Structure 1
């Protein structure tokens, strides 16, 4: 199975083709918003961070071989990798997470989030939105019952300088859309690979042969701009209106000096680019840093290929060293630039992996299967106390047993850090209320 797909057969490229529902319109929404402005001003928490970089480990990363090894468990549970000490006495990571182990004093680990959505579609939605699916969904489903974190942040914390408030690289996650907030708050997708020599974002440069004067004539160049390759929410209630929003974003981007500068990754010193790693993932993290530096409040790096039902150890021996290098470089770079306190860095997937190594689904090389009873989440920045480890799983990694937390607590923490009240009520175009998060309690150890 290619490394960028999961067991349902969906690749990262598929998410460029499958949009998530976004209802457009007004109805009673304006009246409800007006009524709620005063309450929002009182309830909004003080922001500790201005932006968030979400590293989405699509497919469900193993907690055993990353941040929660079980060296005292029997071999069929602990696996082939050794545990190594971290900067925090008594806390161990897996052997290939060497840089992050040394740097644990700069970030926190959550080891005790659990839920009951053990397939990709449902688990992705729950962790990306803080809302469990309303009905049973299939493993390969792209579902949207609630706005994603990125869309909510874009709605509440707009960017300036002609930049979209929400980016997703190189594709949108399956539940990363705006739902009833509308296409305006869908992610701006940058599919191009910034590690390539000729990296160029199509929507940032004017189409060939289009002068600035001609571009300013909106009606005269509509057909040119409409031809730009741009993410389109095909399930939107009014595709014509959705296209209008995307046209406006393309127009703004082309005239935005901050956008032009943010995407010019070649300006980065060679040493910095090398530190992040000369690969697609590493350079996307560097681009994410440049985007938040330019004022973008939410960037998702959609990192697929963590669905290791087979060849778990062979695949991770190749992948983890460079992944560890890139994520560690991002945290260190933000700290050295004085940006870590104002930027959240989060790494997680939809769930963890089974405690017992298996050869299910006819696989010949051992792997681990879906497991929602335990998972690990890396959480840095925005005033998060470094060296903090929240919760624990049992000796064999079966379940979270200490300080058990839910996805709602995780998402509420992100919103609170960004100055958004997780208990806020939004209204869909029909005037129906929806709480951002049903349990708005953040994780106190991270505050």
Structure 2
């Protein structure tokens, strides 16, 4: 049977890929006739070390308020998982299964094919599709009253990742990096892991400086050389590359004395610098073979999702500020019983391992973990009802996410949907509210973390957003 899916949210970058080799090859051409030593000796340029030391676009910064979280990992369940079959049980659907939806003659009620049971000391109800992850509910806050603006994959994904469906806006990771900087200058401060890569529109820095744009890593490969193309330069030694970069920065400084700095040029120079720095640390960060065998087995390193989660933990441990892990394929219009169970199985063990690992290392208390998709699903059946393989269609009026660590109260649920799970009705949480709460946990007032562009102070939450104080410990 061919699963019915929406393809519009599976866009992958193609033409925009620009490898490290292209960076450094273009960088190294045309400078052979210039003498760095003579320029410095004449006093025209600054010494190389001074330039290198000052070129730190995201040095560590302290937030204005005491933070509860220092870093974020966002597991994005792309495709929109059904809240009714994962985190929001609805007994009323069982009573009306396969009957017309009340007040909706065109809809047929579709009860969840999965059982829910109370787990943890909190007694939180969790679907049977998450037997391992459910054991961590006492560390989790499940928000059952999420809603968003548009039930379209691309628009809703942009809303979740940038807080906007219209204007090109910086992503959440870019705002976090802009506010906090990075604890590791040898790795990107914002990294997105996904098989096939991530569309740039979900990682962009927009009007923020280019240094804050996310770096997409294609995790469909297992070898380091494939994960990060051309991580080693075969033609130029590290000392020679360092000299070339220093010279390029200095020449740009001379040029900028007469002309206003070009943002795109600055972003490209920062990319050159980061590419150079990554040679010294990226290979180690992405090499999960350096983990003990029992840790790799705990994550399930024989699976793509397991490898992604383990790489994510290693990146967080090395000071990467914002890590996003994409786990797609949750768009279940038909055959939900089989397909949702399969997707849940892919991430159940790795997610449980991530929470266990972070807790054992003492990192969960200051690492904010967020899981969820772009919207929810309908309580009515979609697809082949007569054939017994229905799914659910899009629903932007209700969905669930969960958060853990980083100052979030564990063992609780927040908000509620109506008796059928069709819409959020109690303590409703919009995407802007989620973003405001995330920034609060990181030590920011979302109304004051701004960037002036075109005569206006922009912020992640636009002119909206309320901090959900009830879920903060």
**TM-score of the superposition, structure 2-length normalised?**
0.76
Structure 1 distance, partners of 2:78, 2:329, is 6
Q: Give the C-alpha shift of residue 155 in structure 1.
A: 1.0
Instruction: Indicate if the aligned counterparts of 1:373 and 1:400 stay in contact, CA closer than 8 A.
Output: yes
Larger Rg over CA atoms: 2
Paired residue for 1:279? 303
Aligned positions of 1:273-312 closer than 5 A: 273-277=296-300, 278-312=302-336
Residues of 2 paired with 1:219 and 1:414: CA distance?
36
Q: How does 1:236-275 map to 2 (within 5 A)?
A: 241-255=266-280, 257=281, 259-275=282-298
Deviation at 1:220, TM superposition (A): 12
Q: 2:143 aligns with which of 100, 105, 110?
A: 110
- Partner of residue 173 from structure 2, selected from 150, 155, 160: 150
Structure 2's unaligned 5+ residue stretches are: 18-60, 98-108, 249-261
- Give the conservation status (yes or no) of the 8 Å contact 1:310–1:363: no
Query: Structure 1 334/216 Cα, relative in aligned 2: closer, same or farther at 3 Å?
Result: same
RMSD: 3.0
* Contact 1:112 1:392 (8 Å CA) reproduced: yes
State the number of aligned residues: 397
Give, in whole Å, the separation in 1 of the partners of 2:227 and 2:133: 31
Structure 1 residue 382, shift from structure 2 partner? 0.8
Q: Does 1:45 align with 2:78?
A: no
Decide whether aligned partners of structure 1 residues 179 and 411 sit closer, same or farther in structure 2, where only a CA change above 3 A counts.
Answer: same
Which is worse superposed, 373-382 or 358-367?
A: 358-367
How far the C-alpha of 1:89 sits from its partner, in A, is: 5.1
Paired residue for 1:62?
82
Which residue of structure 2 lines up, in the alignment, with residue 137 of structure 1?
Answer: none
Please, which of 182, 195, 211 is the counterpart of residue 184 of structure 1?
211
Q: Does 2:157 correspond to 1:133? A: no
Residue 436 of structure 2 corresponds to 412
- Point out where structure 1 has 5 or more consecutive residues left out of the alignment: 20-39, 135-143, 223-236
* Aligned mates of 1:18, 1:351 — CA distance in 2: 28
Q: Does 1:81 align with 2:122?
A: no
Q: Deviation string for 1:326-367 (max 9, x for gaps)?
A: 111111110011000110110111100111121179999421
Q: Is the partner of 1:376 in helix, strand or coil?
A: strand
Larger strand fraction of residues: 2
In the alignment, the residues of structure 2 paired with residue 333 and residue 90 of structure 1 have an alpha-carbon distance, to the nearest angstrom, of 23
Following the alignment from structure 1 to structure 2, what is the Cα–Cα distance between the partners of residues 211 and 432? 45
Residue 104 of structure 2 is aligned to residue 71 of structure 1 = no
2:240 is aligned to 214
2:361 to 312, 322, 337: 337
Q: Per-residue deviation at 1:392? A: 1.2
Shift of 1:312: 1.7
Task: Tell me by how many angstroms 1:309 deviates.
Answer: 1.4
- Once the two structures are overlaid, the 10-residue window that deviates more, 87-96 or 112-121, is 87-96
User: Contact (CA 8 Å) 1:58, 1:306: kept in 2 or not?
Assistant: yes
